[in-house]
Structure 1
């Protein structure tokens, strides 16, 4: 009889919890699970913009919104564990920041709406069937940067450049996608190049040192691992007079020479507005195209300290339109 009483109590508690959850949803309360692959300024900004946009749309944490935020710290195993937990928790929506995290959750559920961010090409990454018409439970925002324009900066800073290293993480699909664009752009410029890859953060310094005496400049796309370890790269390259043209502003602040950068906070805002529409039932992920920032929202960022360190004179044509980091 005691056991029966305990079982009955547990059943009642479960039914009460379910009833509370349903009541919360009926009152407009939402739960969002967040999975972020790595901790660096660009990805952090996508989270900040996301939360701020949700607040503007009427979803505020502590009032009618519960956020379960998780960071994998660039660890693949941790990333998979977080993805499993979020899917098991069955939130109203999952916000996945960076390609590895987006891939992890997208492979584990076809039911929970997912909004992704900082994914260069969701279709190539296998996250959606089509960027224009995703067709499943995933939509989001791309952080595709103007790779060709970034490559053109190398020639503007170094008219006599002969060889460039394209440095990226070999396990990141988004980085390989950009590396291919960079390689094609360098070919058109008549500049020799070599692809140089890393697989984990412990390799970065050694790989950077291997470029000394081999190349005139380095191009690094919006790569999560290298964004996290950009100071390690530039500590080597800047000392040896090898400038790095990089994929985003945070990497320029970390020691890169320059970038045509997109605003990751604005990317977060776009994603937040998408999430709000889904949570209100105004749209479904399947019908929501992947969104991009427009060209007029790009920012040319130049690190003057780095320019002085690698003995490069910044052309006046670039100074006139750049944000200069002193």
Structure 2
């Protein structure tokens, strides 16, 4: 019987050709990023670096499909559906709209997220400690009290805080509401926009009513930072941002987190999932490390005194 089977195999090989079988499984990972921006780019680089250090390398045992939505939420949804239909082994979603797009598209493929301020409010996990869904990862949540303390330190006489935010992004709504609750003793004046075309007129109107502008980690707002900075500098209004990239673009200052490290930690979590860990029981992680960044040129342009004896990192964007 064994001889008959062996002969059958030989005959089959002669007729069809027996190619060598590569037993190495190639893992397909889809990366969905809402927009090209410094902080989010760093998150992607950190993620890929963590994979590499754990033995998962592009062109070797993983294939990465990177898709950028260019700031369009509808496109982020389309990317999520694309990855789901292609049955990726894992999806890495950078920022809230991309995370929501991926989760709306699939409840089976594991989704590692990063740069999502409030995953619970975004509707993609049940709780931070136990997601209960196919989603886990890292959040860029940062208590707004830290930014308020920075405002008080740099500009103690400020009374009116303006906020420009994207009304269609839940991440932004969460930050605005938290600011309103925490900013005791301040008047908070908000202005909502839905696209980049509205930013210029909205900021122009807002600047006549405020002493300082607070910019949340809102992808529409941070990608519009050059326009915002141009208007605020002309009006001598400081911008307190929520992440380092905005300060590099000319905002005055921020208490920020390291997005490369945030992405790196997300990469480590992805490795755990690829090795069989149950993502629905993986607690989401929030960075506890923060650093103060101040744009030296903007500080000088606004004639604000340079803080002394502080652990501050100065940015010089000449």
TM-score under structure 2 length normalisation: 0.91
- The residue that corresponds to 2:286 in the other structure is 292
Q: Partners of 2:201 and 2:194 in 1: how far apart?
A: 12
CA deviations on 1:182-227 (whole Å, 9 max, x unpaired) are 112212xx11111111110111111111122211000011111111
Tell me how far 1:27 sits from its aligned partner. Answer: 2.7
Indicate yes or no: 2:142 matched with 1:145.
yes
SS class of match (2:234): coil
Indicate yes or no: 2:174 matched with 1:177.
yes
List aligned pairs for 1:66-105, cutoff 5 A: 66-105=63-102
- The residue that corresponds to 1:315 in the other structure is 307
Aligned length: 299
- The residue that corresponds to 2:210 in the other structure is 215
Q: Bigger CA drift: 42-51 or 149-158? A: 149-158
- The residue that corresponds to 1:325 in the other structure is 315
Q: Partners of 1:261 and 1:77 in 2: how far apart?
A: 29
Runs of at least 5 residues in structure 2 that lack an aligned partner in the other structure: 1-15
CA deviations on 1:234-287 (whole Å, 9 max, x unpaired) are 100111110000000000111110000000000100110011111122x12101
Tell me how far 1:29 sits from its aligned partner. Answer: 2.5
List aligned pairs for 1:55-66, cutoff 5 A: 55-66=52-63
Give the helix-richer structure, 1 or 2: 1
Q: Partners of 1:261 and 1:167 in 2: how far apart?
A: 18
Indicate yes or no: 2:225 matched with 1:233.
no
Tell me how far 1:155 sits from its aligned partner. Answer: 1.4
Q: Partners of 1:113 and 1:245 in 2: how far apart?
A: 36
Q: 2:238 aligns with which of 243, 266, 283?
A: 243
Q: Partners of 2:144 and 2:300 in 1: how far apart?
A: 24
Pairwise CA RMSD of aligned residues? 1.7
Q: Check whether the contact 2:138–2:266 (CA below 8 A) recurs between aligned residues.
A: yes
Q: Check whether the contact 1:257–1:307 (CA below 8 A) recurs between aligned residues.
A: yes
Q: Partners of 2:192 and 2:306 in 1: how far apart?
A: 29
Runs of at least 5 residues in structure 1 that lack an aligned partner in the other structure: 1-15
SS class of match (2:126): coil
Q: Partners of 2:34 and 2:104 in 1: how far apart?
A: 15
Q: Check whether the contact 1:151–1:219 (CA below 8 A) recurs between aligned residues.
A: no
Indicate yes or no: 2:306 matched with 1:301.
no
Q: Check whether the contact 2:124–2:133 (CA below 8 A) recurs between aligned residues.
A: no
Tell me how far 1:28 sits from its aligned partner. Answer: 4.2
- The residue that corresponds to 2:257 in the other structure is 262
- The residue that corresponds to 1:3 in the other structure is none
Which 4+ stretches in 1 moved above 4 angstroms? none
